[in-house]
Amino acid sequence: MKKWFLLFFAAFMLTACSETTMDETPAETEKENSALEEDRPTAAEAEKEKVALQENEEAAPSESEKEAAAENEHFIPAKVVRVIDGDTVKVLVEGKEETLRLLLVDTPETVHPNKPVQPFGPEASSFAKSTLSGKEVELELDVGERDKYGRLLVYLHVDGKMFNKLLIENGLARVGYVYAPNTKHVDELYELQKAARKKEIGIWSIENYATEDEGFNGGEEKAEAPKAEAPKAEAPKGEPAGACTIKGNISSSGDKIYHMPEGQYYDVTKEEEMFCTEEEAVGAGYRASKR
């Protein structure tokens, strides 16, 4: 009997607790839900947080930007005091005047003591003067700092751009004087040269004028003494002496091209062979110059 009483009492207590819990649950649940609603951001607030997160991500510098910033810390500030020609400049740096030679670029000559003014040399000098004169610039060095003449060897930055690249992009210089270990930017410059050559702008607009390895044709050093002239082809019978004036030239890509005296590039073309008639040039495998 006692056992049954205990069982009945336990069941009664469980029922009472269950009812109490059920009575209290809705109120507590409502209270908890209300607290959650207060903590939950509204749609507008959520959108605002999303926009702020995106702005922060966009503002964060990329790895390439971080690398560029790290490089910029090593640039040397200077001021241009004189432009000598397209690839040589005088600057004032740390209170001292220095002559700069731009790395990995070669512009046609305008002031060389033993060479004539070359095509597009004046244009390169004019471009340098209009871009650099009086400007605050930054000097980027490579491994070797100076050449045998004591000039600083630099990549010159102006208005956030590398001037060496600007010369190549505009067809005013070729990639030249490539000597290790000063080759940090050589691949970039070769890519820009390829594009300028494809567009046939500047120095690349003159057939066989600019070469990748031998500089510029038509700008040979002035001779100190008269040189013996190369033998000219004999004139065909019936032609007057001295009539062999057609220049035959073989380009760096192997094209055989002949130039007439009235042609646009006749004077700057270096002859491989001389012909007296166009028929003779064609028979030797040459084609006429397009200009």
Residues that are catalytic: 101, 109, 151
Distance in angstroms (rounded) separating the CA atoms of residues 86 and 173: 8
Instruction: Name, in order, each residue with C-beta under 8 angstroms of 91's C-beta and a sequence gap of 6 or more.
Output: 78, 79, 80, 81, 97, 98, 100, 137, 139
3-state SS assignment for residue 8:
helix
Strands 273-275 and 256-259: unpaired
Distance in angstroms (rounded) separating the CA atoms of residues 174 and 169: 10
Query: Is the distance from CB of 152 to CB of 89 less than 8 angstroms?
Result: no
Distance in angstroms (rounded) separating the CA atoms of residues 128 and 191: 21
Measure Cα distances from 150 to 35, 46, 88, 177 in Å.
77, 63, 13, 16
